[in-house]
Each structure stands twice: as C-alpha cells, then as structure tokens.
Amino acid sequence: MNIVRKIQPFLLEMANYYPVVVVTGPRQSGKTTLTQQAFPEKNYISLEALDNRAFASEDPRGFLEEYKEGAVIDEIQHTPELLSYIQDVIDKNPKKGRFILTGSQNFMLSQAISQTLAGRCGILTLLPPDWSELQCFPNSPEDLLSLLWQGCYPRIYDQNIPAQRWLADYTTTYVQRDVRQITQITDLNTFTIFMKLCAGSTAQEVNLSRLGNDAGISHNTAKSWLSVMQTAWLVQTLPAWHRIIRKQIVKAPKLHFIDTGLVCYLLVLQQHCIDGYSESESG
C-alpha cells in the first residue's frame, strides 16, 4: 500500500529548482516508494541489484546514456563514483529535476555529493512515517504506547509483519551488511553489545567513556562506532541547549534513536511491559 508522505510536495518543489535531487534517510523508511510515487513518468533503476551496479561502475557513461532523459536511481551510495559522471551530464544539460537519487548512508553519501554536486542538487531527508502518516495503513497502531513499542517503519504495517520479528531481521541485516560496508568492524558481537548500550542511553547525554568501558572498547572506538550508527541513520545526536552559545557548543549532546521500536527490540522490551506501565499510570 502506498501512502502519501508529507515530504512529497517539498520533493516536487525541489525538483523545479535543481537538476538533481537526493533523498536520504534510513533503510526501509520509504524512499523508493516516495520517489516512484512522486515521479511515475521517470525510469527507475536500483543499484542494489548487482548487475545494475556493475553496469554503472564499469561503464558509467553508457549507463547514463541509457537514462539521458533522466531517472530515479535508487541506492546511489553503492556507486559513488557515478556522481562525477552525473555532474558532467547535468553541466551539459541542466534540465530541472532530471535525476532523482536515493541513498541510505549519510556520511559517505554526503561526502561524495559535496565533492561532485555542490550547488547542483537539493537534499531531503526522509525518516519513517509519523503518527498521522501511519494512520493511512489499515492496521496502524491504535495508541501512542503501541506505536512506541512497534516503531514507525512502514513495512511492519504495510505487510502486517510482527514488529519484533521485522526489527530483528532489520538489525541483523544492518549489522551483517551495512556495518561492513561503512567500516571494517570485525567484532560484530561486541558492536551489537555497543548498540544495545546506546539504546539504553537514548535521550541521555552522550558519554563515550562510559559506553566504551561498558562495551570493553576504547573511547576512540566508541566514538568511531557511534559515528557508524549515525552514518546508517540509526541514531542522531541533539546538541545541548543553553542560552549562552559557548555552553551549547561545549556541553555534551544527547543521543536519540531514530526509531523507538528499534530501542524496544534492542532492550528486549515486550508489549506486555508497556501495557502494564500504561495500566499503572491510568490507575
């Protein structure tokens, strides 16, 4: 089931300004559905497929010649070198909204874009649906606590998959594939423990020394691994707030997970625990 996302009008507007628009965000947040729904007339190609990826990497000019009128190119982070060729193509024909790109690795994608498409593209971030967007699904969460436990990833509601089952598969896929693509982490078990410790620290000030000590890793490793989680859109840090700017910069930021359902999964919080909390609060 396709739902209309609130960001879609901004995406269409940005396509009237730039020859390239990039939509970033977590895996499975709905980037593919959004871009195909917003631009149904454009060719669509995913670089998740190995044959498409090989074509784009080995013959980038031939690849772009096939889509010279423009296209939606999904998972562009797999072939960042293609961006240099896209730059050359749009410099010769800067037609607005020509290429719509999606990607799910924040740091790597931003770095590649800044080196090749600065000033030529607009960037939007798509997070999982909010409460009102989820209400478009027939089996949407009925109350806030159910939403907090299940999270907001659309496939859970679109395909009616049990939340904890889907989140378990999502975490396994992330750890085994995305982490290895972003950086050379060999001890995946320790990294999983680190993720769970971060989940236990959500909405708290970032304390890398404590997280590192609890996980049995160094401060620098904890800093690097937290950056990996930010790169894959699992977490974000919120700068400290203070009326004095200097203290905002100096004070430690707070750590927040993008999705509450993932926090509940990592901390093994069950639905009955949340229901019990709700009953105790109402009582």
Q: 100 with 150, same domain? A: no
Domain ranges, residue 221: 136-282
Q: pLDDT band for position 111 (50/70/90)?
A: confident
The answer as to whether 40 is a domain residue is yes
The answer as to whether 2 is a domain residue is no
Q: 155 with 253, same domain? A: yes
Looking at residue 159, what is its pLDDT?
92
Q: 161 with 265, same domain? A: yes
Q: What is the CATH number of the domain that holds 214?
A: 1.10.10.10
pLDDT in tens, 207-235: 999 999 999 999 999 999 998 898 888 99
Domains: count for the chain: 2
Cβ count within 10 A of residue 247: 11
The answer as to whether 59 is a domain residue is yes
- Report the mean per-residue pLDDT for the chain: 89
Q: 73 with 30, same domain? A: yes
Looking at residue 114, what is its pLDDT?
76
pLDDT in tens, 13-39: 999 999 999 999 998 999 999 999 999
Domain boundary residue among 90, 125, 160? 125
Q: Where are the alpha helices (DSSP H) in 217-267?
A: 219-231, 245-250, 260-266
